[in-house]
Amino acid sequence: MRQGGNRQTEKLLMERSVPGRVGTVLPDLDVPAQPLPGGALLRGELPLPEVSEPEVVQYFTGLSQLNFSIDTHFYPLGSCTMKYNPKINDEISFLPGFAGIHPMQPAEHSQGALELLHRLQGFLSEITGLPAVSLATLAGAHGELAGMLMIRAHHLANGGTGRTKVAIPDSAHGTNPASAAMAGFQVVELASDKEGNVDLEALREVAGPDLAGVMITLPSTLGLFDTNIVEVCRIVHEAGGLVYGDGANMNALLGRVKLGELGFDVAHLNLHKTFSTPHGGGGPGAGPVCATRQLAPYLSAPIVTQRGDAFELSTPEKSIGKLSGFHGNFGVLVRAYTYIRTLGGAGIKSISGNAVLNANYMMNALRGVYHLPYDRTCMHEAVFSADWQKERGSSGLEIAKRLLDYGFHAPTMYFPLIVHEALMIEPTESETKETIDSFVQALIDIDREVTENTELVNSAPHTTPVARLDEAKAARQPDLRWQPEAAD
Ligand SMILES: *Cc1c(COP(=O)(O)O)cnc(C)c1O
């Protein structure tokens, strides 16, 4: 947030420009001067700010502090795992040998990089209990599409042309039905029971000869471990279908539960949620796909294989093909590798221990203040409803906005869709008890404010550089750069 009073630091860079002021000094030419290209390529009147270096630094540092970020604030965005990631993982991925490598370099020149990818495939296989891994997919949704195409290819190869339906729980992330539909399947919605598990009766009804498979998120987006999961997999398999696992948020299960052992056939992981790449704002990600031996031949290409001492890129026998240009987002994969190596087995297990402990601590501290539609031990996140506050005049949105005044980013709101006025909160494994305590206190204080001063809550935020934005307009007509005022 900008500190009050200093007019100069509130100006845009262009407004600070003074003709002739210089921010950097170029070295003397040590090559012959060349004529500039013809006039068509040069814009004489291009307005560029003439400012000093400190002004540039102050301007951009100021801009960077207008926003909430994981390095400045607690960011309890459920189903997104906005946790703190150790900076060492960034530093390792910036090493020149990793950052400067070119994806077209021949395998014999990139053995170290290929070995790292091969080892990472092995770690992810160990973590998921699924023996085959492709790292090439670049996001969670991308991994889902790959998995759905693999399931389709498997059925087509085995005479299952009538398997046209994929069943997906009503609590699922929106990418699930989108991915299934893109792979050519018809999506059938699966109801959740009153405990928040997949409704087994509803599942039995769709488990027929036209079922290609199901897509299950574990823990579910209600933050719950589906206690029927083994039975869900059994019912689907018995009907000839396959089970896809959305493992975008695995921080509740790491080192304790393996998807492959529960009965999942193919799953994706979001390395940019669980395995240390910071995300938000649509930055680079990775959504590796892990599969059983049965589905391994269909994985997207390339995968890294080892022959003798050498590592090479190869294409699985019945591969669905390439879904990205090269071998995935290498920098993201290096971060995940570093994260796993620095933590080791015991450290990986402590991620899930702390994630689940923190979420349950927070959930129990708020029980009775905010409504808990599924009041069970939760996993890495808990989904509340702001219904009780709404009865007194403030919706989930107002509460989320008021949290900004207390110095906290809003939780995920209005998702999952099956919870009215949903506030989906994930403290993550990386926050301290003190931070969680002060967040809980803020929510308790806001609940009191809803009764005592509804208007204060409903006009929040009061302390941010801008208050309530037209979010649809901001997304559709972003105003991203300075423009000279129209001369009229
Ligand atoms: C984030 C998320 C996805 C999608 O991942 P992207 O990398 O954003 O494509 C899918 N499912 C769940 C449960 C998620 O939380």
Q: How many Å separate Cα 102 from the centre of its chain?
A: 26
Q: Whose CA is nearest to atom 8 of ligand 1?
A: 140
Residue 215 β-bridge partners: 244
Q: Which stretch of DSSP H or E encloses residue 261?
A: helix 259-262
Instruction: Tell me which of 77, 79, 220 to substitute to probe ligand 1's pocket, judged by most ligand atoms within 8 Å of the beta carbon.
Output: 79
DSSP assignment of 121-173: HHHHHHHHT-SEEE----SHHHHHHHHHHHHHHHHHHTT-TT--EEEEETTS-
| C-alpha of residue 249 to centroid of ligand 1, in Å | 8
Q: What is the DSSP letter of 38?
A: P
- Per the DSSP assignment, residues forming a β-bridge with 214 are 167, 243
Q: Tell which atom from ligand 1 comes closest to the C-alpha of 142.
A: 9
Tell me: cis bond preceding 297? Omega within 30 of 0 counts.
no
Query: What is the reported pLDDT for 1?
Result: 39
Q: What is the pLDDT of residue 42?
A: 82
Average pLDDT, the chain: 94
Q: From ligand 1's centre to the CA of 178, what distance in Å? A: 12
Distance spanning both ends of the chain, measured CA to CA: 35
156: Cα within 13 Å, side-chain hemisphere: 12
Could you read off the pLDDT of 90-134 as tens digits, one per residue?
Answer: 999 999 999 999 999 999 999 999 999 999 999 999 999 999 999
Bridge partners (DSSP) of residue 289 are 134, 268
Question: Is residue 48 very low, low, confident or very high in pLDDT (cuts 50, 70, 90)?
Answer: confident
- Would the pLDDT of 445 be above 70? yes
Q: Judge whether residue 242 has pLDDT over 70.
A: yes
- The pTM (predicted TM-score) of the whole model is 0.91
CA of 179 to the centre of ligand 1 (A): 11
Share of the chain above pLDDT 70, in %: 97
Which of 373, 377, 379, 360 has the alpha carbon at shortest distance from 440?
360
Ligand 1 pocket, residue 412 CB under 6 Å? no
pLDDT at res. 9: 66
How far, CA to CA in Å, does 421 sit from each of 55, 249, 388? Answer: 44, 22, 10
Query: Using 50, 70 and 90 to split pLDDT, how confident is the model at 381?
Result: very high
Cα radius of gyration (the chain): 26
User: Domains, the chain, ranges and CATH?
Assistant: 87-343 (3.40.640.10), 345-476 (3.90.1150.10)
In whole angstroms, give the CA distance from residue 78 to residue 439.
14
CB 285 within 8 A of CB 151: no
Q: What is the pLDDT of residue 488?
A: 55
Query: For residue 313, which phi and psi values (nearest 5 degrees)?
Result: -90, 135
Q: What is the per-residue pLDDT across 313-337, written as a single tens digit (0 to 9) for each?
A: 999 999 999 999 898 999 999 999 9
Distance 420 CA to ligand 1 centre (A): 21
pLDDT tens-digit map of 201-223: 999 999 999 999 999 999 999 99
Q: Which stretches of 414-473 are assigned E, i.e. beta strand?
A: 422-425
pLDDT for 286 equals 97
pLDDT at 3: 46
Average pLDDT rounded to a whole number, residues 63-89: 91
